[in-house]
Amino acid sequence: MGAHAYIEAEDLGLTVLGTIQNAYAVNGVHGQDFGTAVYMATLCRTAALEETLASYAELVRTRQKKLDELGEALSALNKAFAQKTSKTKTSDKLPVDSAAVSILRRYGFTAATKMTYPDIMKLQQNVQFALDQEDNELQQDMTSLQGYVSKRDDAMQMAGKLMKKVSGTRQQGIRYIGS
C-alpha cells in the first residue's frame, strides 16, 4: 500500500428508500462497501506513518550510536589529558588510545595516537561541542518520533471508531428497513 488511498464511488444503479447505493474502489480494488473503503484508506495512512516511524527510529539509533562512541572517545581524551604533569612541556606528546583515535577519525576529527597537550585540549573541546550538537539533534528527532507514534495511534483509533460507527449505522438501517 502506498501513502495515499484513492477512493472512487461507483454508482450501482440502485436506490434504497430514496438513497443512491454506491460501491467503492480503493486503490483500484473494486466492489468495496463504504466501511471497508474508509478502513482501507486509514490503513494506507497508518502504513505510511509506519514507514516514517521506521526511518526516524533508524536515525535515532544511528545518532545514539554516534553519541556513545564520541562519549567513549572523549573519555579516552580525558585520560590522555590527565597524564599531564607539572613537568610535561606543551610540546611533549602524550599517548591517546588507538580505539578512540579510530572513532574520532571516523567522525571527521583529526587525531593521532600521540598528541601534544594543547592539541588534546582543543580536540576535547571540539568533541564536546559535537556531542552537545548531536544530543540536541537527537532530542529533536525523539520529539518528531513521538509525534509520528501519536499520529499512527490516532489513525488506528480513528479506523476503529469509523468501523464501529459504520457498523452501527448499518445495523440501524437494517432495523429501520425491518420495521
The whole-number pLDDT of residue 179 equals 62
What number of helices (H) and strands (E) belong to the chain? 3, 5
11-15, 78-82, 94-98, 170-174: the lowest-pLDDT one:
11-15
Query: What confidence category does residue 46 fall into, taking pLDDT thresholds of 50, 70 and 90?
Result: confident
What's the grid cell of residue 176? 429501520
pLDDT at 5: 57
Q: Tell me the three state secondary structure of residue 88.
A: coil
d(C-alpha 25, C-alpha 22), whole Å: 10
For residue range 103-154, what is the model confidence (pLDDT) as tens digits? Answer: 999 999 999 999 998 999 999 999 999 999 999 999 998 898 888 888 888 8
